[in-house]
């Protein structure tokens, strides 16, 4: 007898998600990723749109130099290595990329993963055990939460960016007799665009003799001098012990993650991290694209692109605020348009696509219930005209959806 009740439960769960307006539709791109894309609209028609929802902060995902580097690396190394790193999957490409990212961010060494999700899943369990403590920001990325679950260390959670609560939790961990304490935070909180207060976090960590780990996925290449991240922006890069990041956002947008830290940390992860030991080595194309993207990001062109992001973000924030939209304050190119209702966020996103602007509504469980939003992300590759077009479309979509200015 087939377990029909099992399939019935899945259908019921899907219906419940749909009834709450929480289904996440996937739009199908038909072009290269970039600030102007072609995609398939709801009725099957092809639509040209301005893309305002990619993590393509420097505009490098479709950059011809990055694409050419991926092709050249594929020609040299093949489609992939058909092996984990320690069997026969380590290529000079990997060593070069590990040296490059470590040098860029100022660490002794780094280690590559298939994704930052895997890096965060890998990092805790080999380094800490039940004698240790992890103190984690309540809004940390899902992959950090999952990684912590895989580790036996005692868990303490502090309210998002709340330094008093962080100190309370550090005191509690010390009082409970923790051997090593690791404070872990996102550098940029991706649903809000807020930066972690790493100045205070590293200061408090110093007082309680704790290590600090930062997941800088939305910052590497984007934030701080030469794009070195949030800690560099705040002048405390030398006080962060472990950084995790991704090649899937500003640094070319292919995929792949990394951990940068002191040599003994990276060496032990190479021996013990399960997503490293039991998963395929990064493909040459990803290494080639990422190396080309880092070269651009850390140089003078990167500085120009970062200045353009700052200008674009200020321009878009100003125009949207003037048009009566409620945004989270800040400077980061993540600019959430707060709408509250999940269905409104979805309907607005649908209307916006009809109007030639590609954005995505975010609702529970990605953000808390009742805090649905359209998260926009500006890129250095947007022109002021692109952004003005998008603001006009937002105003029209709000009218069509019958929502009022805030």
| Residue among 347 and 363 whose Cβ is closer to ligand PLP | 363
Is 141 catalytic? The answer is no
What are the two backbone dihedrals, phi and then psi, of residue 242, each rounded to the nearest 5 degrees?
A: -135, 130
Which x/- pattern over 89-128 shows residues binding ligand PLP (rule: CB under 6 A)? --------------------------xxx--x--------
141 contributes a contact to ligand PLP by CB under 6 A: yes
Minimum distance from residue 88 beta carbon to ligand PLP (Å): 25
- Establish if 218 lies at the interface with ligand PLP (CB under 6 A): yes
Instruction: Single out the residue of 34, 126, 224, 257 in contact with ligand PLP (rule: CB under 6 A).
Output: 257
For residue 322, the minimal CB distance to ligand PLP (Å) is 29
d(CA 101, CA 108): 10
d(CA 30, CA 47): 9
Catalytic residue among 249, 285, 363, 379: 249
Q: Which of 190, 285, 290, 379 is catalytic?
A: 190
Report H helices in 20-91: 64-77
Secondary element (H or E) of residue 161 = none
The verdict on whether 249 is a catalytic residue reads: yes
CB 31 within 8 A of CB 38: yes
Active site annotation includes 95: no
Options 39-47, 212-220, 344-352, 390-398: segment touching ligand PLP (CB under 6 A): 212-220
Which structure tokens are listed for 323? 């048009």
Residue 379: both structure tokens together: 């890129």
Smallest separation (angstroms) from ligand PLP to the CB of 216: 8
Instruction: State the number of CA atoms in the 13 A half-sphere of 197 facing the CB.
Output: 13
Structure tokens at 25: 């539709």
Q: Quick one: CA dihedral 207, 261, 197, 233, positive or negative?
A: positive
Is the Cβ of residue 285 or residue 347 nearer to ligand PLP in the bound state? Answer: 285
CB within 8 A of 356, min separation 6: which ones?
Answer: 47, 48, 49, 50, 389, 393
Contact 101, 294 (CB under 8 A): yes
C-alpha to C-alpha distances, 180 to 52, 120, 204, 386, nearest whole angstrom: 42, 18, 15, 49
- Establish if 298 lies at the interface with ligand PLP (CB under 6 A): no
Please check whether residue 185 is in contact with residue 214, taking contact to mean a CB–CB distance below 8 angstroms. yes
Residues between 228 and 247 with contacts to ligand PLP, criterion CB under 6 A: 246
- The least CB distance from residue 181 to ligand PLP, in Å, is 21
Beta-bridged to residue 189, according to DSSP, are 194
- Nearest distance, CB of residue 69 and ligand PLP, angstroms: 19
186 binds ligand PLP (CB under 6 A): yes
Stretch that binds ligand PLP, among 34-42, 191-199, 211-219, 230-238 (CB under 6 A): 211-219
Return residues touching ligand PLP (CB under 6 A). 115-117, 120, 141, 143, 186, 190, 215, 217-218, 246, 248, 257
Residues designated catalytic: 190, 218, 249
């Amino acid at each position: 007898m087939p377990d029909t009740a099992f399939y019935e439960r899945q259908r019921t769960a899907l219906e419940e998600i749909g009834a709450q307006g929480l289904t996440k539709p996937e739009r199908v791109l038909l072009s290269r990723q970039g600030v102007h894309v072609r995609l398939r609209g709801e009725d099957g028609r092809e639509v040209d749109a301005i893309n305002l929802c990619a993590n393509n902060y420097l505009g490098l995902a479709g950059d011809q130099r990055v694409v050419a580097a991926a092709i050249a690396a594929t020609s040299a190394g093949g489609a992939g290595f058909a092996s984990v790193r320690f069997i026969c999957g380590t290529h000079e490409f990997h060593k070069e990329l590990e040296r490059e990212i470590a040098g860029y961010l100022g660490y002794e060494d780094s280690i590559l993963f298939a994704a930052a999700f895997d890096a965060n899943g890998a990092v805790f369990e080999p380094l800490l055990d039940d004698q240790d403590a992890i103190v984690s920001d309540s809004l940390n990325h899902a992959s950090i939460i999952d990684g912590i679950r895989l580790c036996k260390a005692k868990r303490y959670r502090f309210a998002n960016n709340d330094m008093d609560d962080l100190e309370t939790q550090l005191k509690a961990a010390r009082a409970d007799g923790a051997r090593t304490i690791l404070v872990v935070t996102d550098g940029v909180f991706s649903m809000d665009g807020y930066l972690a207060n790493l100045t205070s976090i590293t200061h408090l960590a110093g007082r309680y003799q704790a290590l600090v780990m930062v997941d800088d996925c939305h910052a590497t290449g984007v934030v701080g001098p030469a794009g070195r991240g949030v800690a560099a922006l705040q002048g405390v890069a030398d006080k962060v012990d472990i950084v995790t990041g991704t090649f899937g956002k500003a640094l070319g947008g292919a995929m792949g993650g990394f951990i940068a830290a002191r040599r003994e940390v990276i060496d032990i992860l190479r021996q013990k991290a399960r997503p490293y030991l039991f998963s395929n080595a990064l493909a040459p194309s990803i290494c080639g694209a990422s190396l080309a993207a880092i070269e651009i990001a850390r140089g003078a062109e990167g500085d120009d692109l970062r200045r353009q992001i700052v200008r674009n973000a200020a321009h878009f924030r100003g125009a949207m605020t003037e048009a009566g939209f409620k945004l989270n304050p800040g400077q980061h190119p993540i600019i959430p348009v707060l709408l509250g209702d999940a269905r409104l966020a979805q309907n607005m996103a649908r209307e916006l696509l009809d109007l030639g602007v590609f954005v995505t509504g975010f609702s529970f469980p990605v953000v808390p219930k009742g805090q649905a939003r359209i998260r926009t992300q500006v890129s250095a590759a947007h022109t002021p005209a692109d952004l003005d077009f998008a603001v006009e479309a937002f105003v029209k979509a709000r009218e069509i959806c019958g929502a009022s200015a805030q």
